[in-house]
Amino acid sequence: MKILVLNCGSSSLKYQLFAMEQEQVLAKGLVEKIGLADAIITHKTGDGQKIVNQTAIPDHAKAIELVLAALTDKNHGVISSMKEIDAVGHRTVHGGTTYAKSVLIDDKVVAELKRLIKLAPLHNPPGILGIEACEKIMPGVPMVAVFDTSFHQTMPAKSYIYGIPYEYYEKYGVRRYGFHGTSHRFVAQRMAELLGKPFDDCKIITCHLGNGSSIAAIENGKVVDTSMGFTPLEGLMMGTRCGNIDPAIIPFLMEEETMDIPAINAMMNKKSGLLGISGISSDMRDIEQAAAQGNERAQLALDIFHHNVIKTVGGYIALMNGVDGIAFTAGIGENGPATRKLVCEQFAYAGLQFDAAANQCRGKEVEISKPGSKIRAFVVPTDEELMIARDTKALASK
């Protein structure tokens, strides 16, 4: 069975084609600058060939046509015709409270995704464009929507209701949804395997630390809390996002700086976090380098990031009354030994025996706690696309 996974952004589209028998990636790629005359498609085959093409790509439909052309190309294609694609999995950001699981897409689902645009005005529209374009180009091929929010739908109300008048939850669905759910689910399920315990019988904390960062507490297979909220702005301080701040800062700055809503939103989403504090970069590698060279603001940004992660992990250990394993994933989690060391060493008191030598690794699955450690810690590379492909296979085969 061959499954195409699509992840549509407003001006970009990432894709991977899987052969599901061995869960093997046959080809993958990225279309950038959709809507512009100098759009770029970068296509990589499983055997390492890379083809880059620059051309005008007016919309997502044209982008998908080019992806299919690359996949079926005589010279570097990996399938002979698009008829070989059995199903398409779409990464979808927001499923609201409607979708606690991935779903086979039909007209009703598309209508519901459109209704949910108000909860994710930046993220859901490109996903819908991708779905509609595929429907046009590949009619009849089963499609599945896999949501960033659905894994977190198991949270109890005490985790997702905010301390504001209840009517806003009822009227507008203002509540914690949580994001990165596909990654947290993939990593947590793998963690259970590594711990040698059934998924529904362990306590796991997954730290997805990348440009966007979130942490989830998973008890007996269910998310009990997660750090992102109504939007992906809440929780940890991130590359350019502020994470938790006193909400009263917002009206204060709007008044003092005469900022309007787009300006305050841009400040919190694009000018804050590591970038806002250091004034240098949103990229952890730049921050670590500048801090090592004695830049105090970069060091402060680094300290705040670690402080946030430790506070959240510690809170979740308390919430679950213990933890069996802590997983680190995404760009910083997989490649940043310094962050993992600072976080893990903080939980020595709770029984985490950190293995500093094992921690000197990047981008691969490794246990970073010592044998016999009461709390175990692992680096678990995430694979959201594979998770989407697995869900798509399961639903499309029904």
Asked if 98 touches ligand AMP (CB under 6 A), the answer is no
User: Of 105 and 284, which has the nearer Cβ to ligand AMP?
Assistant: 284
Asked if 335 touches ligand AMP (CB under 6 A), the answer is yes
Instruction: Provide the minimum distance between the beta carbon of 124 and ligand AMP in the complex, in angstroms, as a whole number.
Output: 20
Among 330, 375, 380, 387, binds ligand AMP (CB under 6 A): 330
40: its two tokens: 């770029």
Task: Specify the stretch interacting with ligand AMP by CB under 6 A; choose among 80-88, 112-120, 327-335, 385-393.
Answer: 327-335
Strands 325-329 vs 376-379: parallel, antiparallel or unpaired: parallel
By beta carbon distance, the residue nearest ligand AMP is 331
Among 9, 96, 181, 210, binds ligand AMP (CB under 6 A): 210
Q: Is 38 a catalytic residue?
A: no
Among residue numbers 345 through 364, which ones bind ligand AMP (CB under 6 A)?
362
Residue 139's closest CA among 209, 82, 59?
82
Within 116-201, residue ranges assigned H as helices are 124-137, 157-160, 167-172, 181-195
Among 95, 273, 336, 381, binds ligand AMP (CB under 6 A): 336
What strands lie across the sheet with 50-55, from one edge to the other? 50-55, 39-45, 24-32, 13-19, 2-8, 87-92, 143-147, 103-104
Among 332, 352, 387, 395, binds ligand AMP (CB under 6 A): 332
Among 50, 136, 285, 364, binds ligand AMP (CB under 6 A): 285
Residue 219's closest CA among 198, 193, 194, 200?
200
36: its two tokens: 């512009």
316: its two tokens: 């979740």
User: Of 153 and 278, which has the nearer Cβ to ligand AMP?
Assistant: 278
> Do residues 82 and 138 make contact, with C-beta atoms less than 8 angstroms apart?
yes
**Phi, psi of 283, deg, nearest 5:** -90, 125
Among residue numbers 134 through 193, which ones bind ligand AMP (CB under 6 A)?
none
49: its two tokens: 């060939």
Asked if 284 touches ligand AMP (CB under 6 A), the answer is yes
Asked if 331 touches ligand AMP (CB under 6 A), the answer is yes
Asked if 283 touches ligand AMP (CB under 6 A), the answer is yes
> Do residues 121 and 265 make contact, with C-beta atoms less than 8 angstroms apart?
no
User: Of 65 and 283, which has the nearer Cβ to ligand AMP?
Assistant: 283
Asked if 276 touches ligand AMP (CB under 6 A), the answer is no
Catalytic residue among 148, 225, 383, 391: 148
Q: CB under 8 Å to 158, separation ≥6 — which residues?
A: none
Distance CA 86, CA 79 (A): 12
Residues that bind ligand AMP (CB under 6 A): 210-211, 239, 283-285, 288, 330-332, 335-336, 362
What are the residue numbers of the active site? Answer: 148
